[in-house]
Amino acid sequence: MNLKSLLWGCSIVIVPILSGCNPEAFEAQIGAFENSQEPPSEEAPSPSPPSNPPSGPSTFSRVVSVGYGGRRITSDDGYVWENNQLLVSQGSAGGDDDDNLRGVGFGDGLFVAVGGSSLRRVLTSPDGVTWTHQNFGYTGWMGDVAYTNNIYFAGGGNGIHMIGTRSPETTGGIQWKSYSPYSIQNSDVDHLIGGGSPVYNTHMRRIAAGNGLFVAVGDSGRRSVTDGSENNEGRLQWISHQWSGTVRRDVAFGNNIFVAVGDSGLREYSTDGIQWNTSNDQQGWAAGCASIPSGTSFRRVIWTGSEFVTISNNSGGQLIIAKSLDGQSWTWHPFSQQLKLIIQFKDEFFGLNGWSTPTIYRGVETPGIDSCGYSIDLISFSSKDSENQSIWSDSMNIPNDMVIGDIPL
């Protein structure tokens, strides 16, 4: 077969030609070929964009710290701190009074700061910058607040406590109900643990939330557990209440475990807030390894997402930082800064010395050897350099608490 090129518009078409060059057969073959071809199509339209195009993050994380004098201050990176606000006049010293903000929590899009003295102080904010005062006339101070299962739980002086639920029509966005510790009946508690008469009116210092439970710790060894529900008599139903022993200074939740810390080197852990087990410094350690000094007072404990970290801030005693994966076995090492608060934010540690002039320290984990000769990541803190360091130089209104919240972009 021979090939012959024919020009069709701007296209070159190749058709087979029969030997012998029969004109009639050639024309018939050309007609059949042309009829088999579709006319040139128009350019295909661009594909329409997807109905749900991929998007970036819709929120970002922010740290809010609160303290004396109604201090509120924020940071989006742990280095630069801004939006410094006070309830007292600038330059005035706040004390253990109605303007003192003792604790701060975050849940359901709201930062909640609590405190006060004779007057109960509650402030809420969607971003840590614009705050609404919820002054509802309740007496007695609040020490801390936590959130889980659509419920806010706050507790404080002499065991007073209250439950809050989101209420957009309420000023500040939360509707609260207050409960008196003096109205608690033993029948309101599923598990009473401790000798003598129950002590319901001891201070609640700190609160942790997890697995649908609130665990409040405080004076006289208080550990109280509730899910925030009421019983048929309209009183708060407690799952457990126990007392007696060393004061518990703080409590944290992570990896389905509650960890409480306190005076005399106390560290203990629980999966339900009812049964508590004392931590063991030397489990798995070399024989003869020094344990944490008994006079150590642990004031803060946090869950970083992978481990518990607690710090002591002894005045005149040894300063210690201890770490644990499960709340049971701890490694520890001494350090030099007397920190009041510690937080892990965006994969970095930040500590706050709040006992004199507040100073922010950056904590860095580096490979090292703990006090027992085991290899661990030591956390060392150094003062950060920032143009905003002066914002912390108001030694009259030191911070009391910090929390991380995710807010809309």
Q: Is residue 392 part of a domain?
A: yes
Structure tokens at 204: 């609640």
pLDDT of residue 310: 94
The mean predicted confidence, pLDDT, of the chain is 83
Domain coverage including residue 126: 62-408
Q: Is residue 50 part of a domain?
A: no
The C-alpha atoms of residue 245 and residue 226 are separated, in whole angstroms, by 21
Alpha carbon separation from 332 to 43, 138, 383 (Å, rounded): 71, 42, 21
pLDDT of residue 394: 58
Q: Are residues 11 and 131 in the same domain?
A: no
pTM flag (> 0.85): no
Q: Is residue 47 part of a domain?
A: no
Q: Are residues 164 and 16 in the same domain?
A: no
* Domain CATH number, residue 152: 2.130.10.10
* Pick from 96-100, 186-190, 208-212, 369-373: least confident: 369-373
Q: Are residues 194 and 317 in the same domain?
A: yes
Q: Is residue 336 part of a domain?
A: yes
What total number of domains does the chain contain? 2
Q: Are residues 26 and 159 in the same domain?
A: no
Q: Is residue 395 part of a domain?
A: yes
Alpha carbon separation from 1 to 15, 211, 237 (Å, rounded): 10, 83, 97
Q: What band does 302 get if pLDDT is binned at 50, 70 and 90? A: very high
Q: Is residue 402 part of a domain?
A: yes
Q: Are residues 197 and 286 in the same domain?
A: yes
pLDDT tens for 31-58 read 554 455 555 544 545 555 555 655 667 8
Q: Are residues 322 and 203 in the same domain?
A: yes
Q: Which residue has the higher pLDDT, 362 or 395?
A: 362
Q: Is residue 49 part of a domain?
A: no
pLDDT tens for 57-112 read 789 999 999 999 999 999 999 888 899 999 987 767 778 899 999 999 999 999 99
Tell which phi-psi region holds residue 306, choosing left (phi > 0), alpha (psi between -120 and 50) or beta.
alpha
Q: Are residues 10 and 143 in the same domain?
A: no
Q: What band does 313 get if pLDDT is binned at 50, 70 and 90? A: confident
Q: Are residues 189 and 90 in the same domain?
A: yes
pLDDT tens for 388-405 read 555 665 556 788 999 999
Q: What band does 285 get if pLDDT is binned at 50, 70 and 90? A: very low
pLDDT of residue 381: 83
pLDDT score of 308 more than 90: yes
Single-letter code of the amino acid located at 93: A
pLDDT score of 372 more than 60: yes
Q: Is residue 57 part of a domain?
A: no
Q: Are residues 379 and 335 in the same domain?
A: yes
Q: Which residue has the higher pLDDT, 120 or 17?
A: 120
Q: Are residues 234 and 302 in the same domain?
A: yes
The count of other CB atoms within 10 Å of the CB of residue 127 is 16
pLDDT of residue 51: 58
Q: Are residues 12 and 96 in the same domain?
A: no
Q: Are residues 102 and 27 in the same domain?
A: no
pLDDT score of 18 more than 90: no
Q: How far is CA 131 from the centre of its chain?
A: 19
